[in-house]
Amino acid sequence: MGMTTQNFGAFFKTSPHPDQATDFAQIQTSHFLPAIERGIEVAQTRLAKIKEQTETPSFTNTVLAIESATEELEQVSGVFFNLLGALSDDEMQKLAKQISPKLAAYNSDLLLDAALFQRVKSVWDARDHSPALQGEERQLTEKVFKRFARNGALLSDDKKAQLRSLDQELSKLSPEFSDNVLKATNSFEMHLTEAAELEGLPESAIDAAAEAAKERGKSGWVFTLHQPSIAPFLAYAAKRELRQKLWHAYNARALDTNPALVLRIVQLRDQRARLLGYKTHAHFVLEERMAETPEQVASFLTRLLQKVKPAAERDLAAVKAHKKQVTGDESFMPWDYAYWSEKLKMKLHDLDDEQLRPYFKLENVIAGVFEHARRLYRIEFRERSDLPVYHPEVKTYEVVESGTNRHIGLFYADFFPRASKRSGAWMTSFREQGLFQHIADNKVLRPHVAIVCNFTKPTSTQPSLLTLDEVKTLFHEFGHALHGLLSDCKYVTLAGTNVHWDFVELPSQIMENWVTEKESLALFAKHYETGEVMPDELIEKIRKSSQFQAGYFALRQLNFAMLDLAWHTVDPNTIQDVVSFERSATAGSALFAPTEGTSTSTAFSHIFAGGYSAGYYSYKWAEVLDADAFEYFKEKGLFDQEVARAFRDHILSRGGTEPPMQLYKKFRGREPDPDALLRRDGLI
């Protein structure tokens, strides 16, 4: 197991568990800081040895040695940040404020080390004369070289010191931003005591609100800002002033605490980019993306906006007209949209989410998503009750190749909201796939992948019944999980989801396409009480309504992407105020007049705490790829083995071992057709 693992206490006490599953039961919060400090020490000792060498720098004694120096540190910090998102408390949040600066300092020590960089550079410079530097070895060398070069290795000593202090400060701000959003989300509740206030709400939402009240020791019903609570309320609650209250609270999250953080974060990112010789933070980020430059992203978004905005305006006009027709009242506010849009969908397509819920029992949908993986990629998920988990609600599965039982990896699923979990849904890894020199004596290990969601909880009267959107979210995150699980690379840095961020959403978004196909729904959409398969007419309604309000929702994504790009391309010294800047940045992609006392930016965790800065456009970029890729499946058959095999071989298993466009062309035989997305949304 490597000589240093005994210093990491519970993190590597894994021998009782097959495939070294993380032994969560043994890990206490107090273990993290000492384990991370020890991980940094061990890594620094290894890095010092690399520099002491007298042999000519080579891939093995330099690039690979740097790659594997941090194995234990990566493992421990990975577990820490995963639990910070899924099982946080005050102690963990306090710890994040100590741990993040330590990791940032270590990172600066590594990337600003001139002697290490010289060794990496000499391996990179000799690449064309080195027969050993082919394929993954060459790709890893390039990645390590660029990581140094793009993070200050070429700077003078005084500029390195400046960069170090910028990184220190930045490392503290993201956890603080995140913490403020979580606190704002958890601190609000709308407590209702009159049955009349629940008018219009479906039974499922009322039951969940009664459970939430009971958990808090209250009578009546409690609604919160967590998606399974707020989404049905905005879509169905007849009392307009209550919808307004909930909508407003959601859109004002962290407006009292985060504006100064937003301004400081964009200032520091801008200073950092300029110090490194880039025009803006977006120029720095996009150099390592398929899109390459902010100009290309801007023209991509503008091209979409020209097609999408007129469609979105038509969508909104239809909803407004329906409200006026029913009520005679012309006034229309953002908190009216979900409610009246749902009513219009009912009128046009005779469909609302509540009709579908009984067919989407969580356990059936999970079985369905596993069946898709079996049919497409010939893998099976077997539930295990003997593996340790970090929370009793987490389920674990072993993933094996069908027929041969070859071990593929472990899969963890954590489905329901709780106060200790941030909102949203995401995929993560407790261990990446790839070579571990120290932890596993030079073996290539299989991955441990998790998805974390916030779905409708079961109540005392019924199981967890999902909305169609939640089903799509489950398929989406499962697509990311497949990208992690089916990885077949040699080096961790190139494996799984370690790809360009505007490519990483392709495996996730393509999975959503199956959700609206009859052949797919027949596999899992069964009534939770009768077991009957979803009737054809309901499936037809889903299919017909799949383009309902497509323009509106596409514009919403473009609005977020344009806001993100603006924050990271405009000189932050010219920005006085978060709210007014946000309004001017999104004026061209907004459908409603701004509402006083609200802001998107102050709770925009994707870009201020999550790694999507200057990258939110990726969702739309990858939608072009996934629409084009799914057309191939539709053409050949939803579960066609040849297409699925090509997708697995060239996309899911290859990680970042080749440039993404190269991988895509190997799968599809050509570049993606940019109009595929507009075709799917019915916009051309």
C-beta pairs of 586-590 under 8 Å, 24+ apart in sequence: 586/559, 586/562, 588/305, 588/562, 589/305, 589/309, 589/555, 589/558, 589/559, 589/562, 590/559
DSSP 3-state of 388: coil
Rounded to the nearest integer, the mean pLDDT of the chain is: 95
Residue 12 pLDDT: 54
Distances (CA, A) of 337 to 317, 343, 557: 11, 10, 16
Residue 651 DSSP symbol:
I
**Domain 5-111+113-154 class in CATH:** mainly alpha
| 451, 481 Cβ separation under 8 angstroms | yes
Share of the chain above pLDDT 70, in %: 97
- Say how far residue 554 (Cα) sits from the centre of its chain: 18
- Whether pLDDT at 9 is above 90: no
The per-residue pLDDT for 132 is 83
Q: Does position 16 have pLDDT exceeding 80, yes or no?
A: no
For residue 429, the cross-strand partners are: 449
- What integer is the mean pLDDT of 605-626? 95
Sign for the pseudo-dihedral over CA of 496, 500, 501, 507: negative
Report the SS3 class of residue 7. helix
Residues with a known catalytic role: 477
pLDDT-wise least confident of 122-126, 646-650, 669-673, 679-683: 679-683
User: What integer is the mean pLDDT of 464-493?
Assistant: 97
pLDDT above 60 (res 242):
yes
Phi, psi for residue 194 in degrees, rounded to 5: -100, 130
Tell me how far apart the alpha carbons of residues 487 and 447 are, in angstroms, rounded to a whole number.
8
Cα(20)–Cα(411) distance, integer angstroms? 13
Q: Each residue of 246-289: pLDDT tens digit?
A: 999 999 999 999 999 999 999 999 999 999 999 999 999 999 99
* Residues 57/122, Cβ–Cβ less than 8 Å: yes
Q: What is the mean pLDDT of residues 587-592?
A: 97
Task: Determine the 3-state secondary structure of 620 from DSSP.
Answer: helix
Tell me what pLDDT residue 352 has.
87
Spatial neighbors of 667 by CB under 8 A, at least 6 apart, are: 629, 646, 647, 649, 650, 651
pLDDT in tens, 185-238: 999 999 999 999 999 999 999 999 999 999 999 999 999 999 999 999 999 999
- For residues 174-189, give the mean pLDDT: 95
Query: Looking at residue 460, what is its pLDDT?
Result: 87
Residue 455 DSSP class:
P
Give the model confidence (pLDDT) of 542-552 as tens digits.
999 999 999 99
Given a cut of 90, is residue 148 above it in pLDDT?
yes
pLDDT recorded at residue 671: 95
**516 CB-near residues (< 8 Å, 6+ apart):** 542, 543, 546
User: Can you read off the two tokens belonging to residue 415?
Assistant: 């489905």
What element of type H or E holds 294? helix 294-327
5 near 75, Cβ under 8 Å?
A: no
The string over 198-227, giving b where at least 16 C-beta atoms fall within 10 Å of a residue's C-beta and e elsewhere, is bebbbebbbbbbbbbbeeeeeeebbbbbbb
Distance separating alpha carbons of residues 582 and 594, to the nearest angstrom: 10
Q: Where are the domains of the chain?
A: 5-111+113-154, 191-240, 259-350+551-616, 358-550+619-680
Give the pLDDT confidence score for residue 405 in this predicted structure: 95
* DSSP-assigned beta bridge partners for residue 431: 448
Is residue 15's pLDDT more than 50? no
Do domains 5-111+113-154 and 358-550+619-680 share one topology? The answer is yes
CATH label, 358-550+619-680, candidates 1.10.1370.40, 3.40.50.1820, 1.10.10.60, 1.10.3720.10: 1.10.1370.40
pLDDT tens digits for range 631-653: 999 999 999 999 999 999 999 99
pLDDT at 4 over 80: no
Mean pLDDT of 310-339: 97
User: Considering only 101-110, 124-133, 593-602, which range has the smallest mean pLDDT?
Assistant: 124-133
Average pLDDT over residues 300-327: 97
The yes-or-no verdict on residue 315 having pLDDT over 80 is: yes
Q: Are 449 and 409 in contact (CB under 8 A)?
A: yes
pTM of the shown model: 0.93
Which of 73, 59, 68, 70 minimizes the C-alpha distance to 131? 59
Q: Considering only the top CATH level, what class is 259-350+551-616?
A: mainly alpha
pLDDT of residue 18: 59
Burial 425-453 (b: 16+ CB within 10 A, else e): bebbbbbbbbbbbbbbeeeebbbbbbbbb
